[in-house]
Amino acid sequence: VPTANFKIVVVMNRGQTAGDVTESALVYSVIMPNTPEAKGTNWTQYLVSVDEVEKQTGYDFLSKVPEAVQKVIEARVAAAP
C-alpha cells in the first residue's frame, strides 16, 4: 500500500496541447497521505508544487511543455480555488 497518492492537473481549454501551456497556466498538484486521518479532509490542505511531486516520485512531469514555461509552473504552488 503506498504511503501517499499524488495528482497533477493543468487547466487548459479544449483542443489545447502541451505547446499551448503558458507561464500563467493554472496548475494544481497534491500529495495526499494514504492514512485514515486524511479521510474527510479538504484536498487543498495537500497542495504542493509539481517540483515537489517530482522530487518525491522521481518522475519528470510536464516534459512536453516548453522548458522555460515548465520551470515557472512546476515551481509554483497554486492557491486553493
Q: What is the pLDDT of residues 23-45, one digit of tens each?
A: 999 999 999 999 999 988 999 99
pTM of the model: 0.91
SS (H, E, C) the chain: CCCEEEEEEECCCCCCCHHHCCCCCCEEEEEEECCHHHCCCCHHHHECCHHHHHHHHCCCCCCCCCHHHHHHHHHCCCCCC
Decide if pLDDT at 50 tops 90: yes
